[in-house]
Amino acid sequence: MDLLDAFDTAWLEFDRRVHRVREDQWGEPTPCTAWTVRDLVNHLVGEHLWAPWLLRGATLAEVGDRFDGDVLGDDPIAAWERAAAESHAAFHRPGALDGHVDTSGGESPTTDYGWQMTTDLTVHAWDLARGIGDDDTLGDELAAAVYERVEPEAAGWQGSGLFAAPVPVPDGARAQDRLVALLGRKP
């Protein structure tokens, strides 16, 4: 699965779950122990507000703090729709994945950034599904592609606060279970 196919699939998985959040579920907990459903969606909306700027070559300093805090306002679903549409278009702009972006980890190839965004969409689609009691099934091809990208990096992320410690899974576990467990979630 190439990057844009994975990104699009993950984007749709998260989008589908956002549109299933009921009004009374925004305060519900998620597998991200510090985040409610609203906090999780706010995180993804913020990331997708940043993406068009970074993919156009803006630095972190140029973007500044404009996307700090609550970016959902009174209509979290509409906030997601706007940010997601702009981010999706930015990733699909011709040449968007040919350069580098400024990230908190330093300058990174845009393809690495694209896989980071795809990973967040994928894993947080699962988190959001769990938080709202929805079907958490991700496509096998997507889960396998993201796991393949994440697995070599995961050990280096331990202790960074990005993810909890890996959770053991049985031999032969499906790709989705291996992915979420690698990132500290109990399948």
Top-confidence residue, 157 or 86: 86
Q: Indicate whether 155 pLDDT > 90.
A: no
pLDDT band at 153 (very low <50, low <70, confident <90, very high): confident
Domains, the chain, in order of start with CATH, read 3-182 (1.20.120.450)
Whether residue 13 contacts residue 121, with contact meaning beta carbons closer than 8 Å, is answered with yes
Top-confidence residue, 165 or 15: 15
The pLDDT value recorded for residue 164 is: 73
Q: Indicate whether 10 pLDDT > 70.
A: yes
pLDDT band at 149 (very low <50, low <70, confident <90, very high): very high
Q: Indicate whether 174 pLDDT > 70.
A: yes
The pLDDT value recorded for residue 152 is: 83
pLDDT band at 21 (very low <50, low <70, confident <90, very high): very high
Cβ-based neighbour number of residue 40 at 10 Å: 25
- The C-alpha angle 64, 59, 65, rounded to 5 degrees, equals 10
Q: Could you tell me the CA-to-CA distances from 126 to 30, 89, 92, 98, 106 in Å, in that order?
A: 10, 23, 24, 29, 28
Residue 71 DSSP code: -
Top-confidence residue, 64 or 153: 64
Give percent of the chain above pLDDT 90. 82
Q: pLDDT of 73-125, one tens digit each?
A: 999 999 999 999 999 999 999 999 999 999 888 899 999 999 999 999 999 99
